[in-house]
Structure 1
Amino acid sequence: MYIAMNRFRVVPGFEEAFEAQWLNRQGRLSEVPGYIEFQMLKGPKAEDHTLYASHTVWDTYESFVAWTKSEQFRAAHARAGESKVQYLSGPHFEGFEVIISEDSAGNRRSQAA
């Protein structure tokens, strides 16, 4: 599995607009092979920003890369420049290969590197 994350530092006062933007967008992820799940996470508040992170799980790294090159990706991000939300800086991407996972029943899997 592969986890793709983007961290967003949203300027205070723009949190509601940021959350609404994500609630109202058509993500198109479910149309792409290899997509497993998505979460938008709200983190701690600092004096100059509130931290958010998008968290997307893919069956493989290759599936994630295919998403970034897809028509669905372009359509999902087409209106990104129209946002009224203010950020301290652009999103910060982090990608992770899953090497160990454990489900709620305690079943553990190790992924070959």
Structure 2
Amino acid sequence: MFYAMNRFQITIGHEQAFEDVWKNRDSSLADMPGFVEFKLLRGQTVAEEGYTLFVSSSIWRDRDAFSAWTKSENFRAAHKNAGDNRAMYLGPPKFEGFSVVEGA
């Protein structure tokens, strides 16, 4: 299994708009070979730095399946309007990828 995560620092006051973007997006993840699961996670608000942390988390059969997604037309279509919402982000997302070492 491969876990792909993007961390987003969302400007305080834009949390609901950010969630709405994700809830209303055209996602074709379920159509991709090797896709297992997706979750959008909301973390803590860091008031002194002006953001709320969010993580998009997807699980894939393996790193190759995730890589194929990032090179697909479905990926391009899903991210085509990403720049329209720059005001809600404090910088670009931070990608983190993990392979399972141990787990039930």
Q: Fold match, TM over 0.5? A: yes
Q: 2:95 aligns with which of 93, 97, 106?
A: 93
The percent identity for this pair of structures is 46
TM-score normalized with structure 2 length = 0.94
Bigger proportion of residues as helix? 2
Equivalent-residue separation in structure 2 for 1:84 and 1:74 (angstroms): 17
| Equivalent position amino acid for 1:83 in 2 | N
SS class of match (1:30): helix
The higher radius of gyration belongs to 1
Within 5 Å, give how 1:1-113 maps onto structure 2.
Answer: 1-47=1-47, 48-83=50-85, 85-102=87-104
Shift of 1:27: 1.4
Runs of 4+ in 1 over 3 A off after TM superposition: none
- Name the count of aligned residue pairs: 102
Gaps of 5+ in 2: none
Gaps of 5+ in 1: 103-113
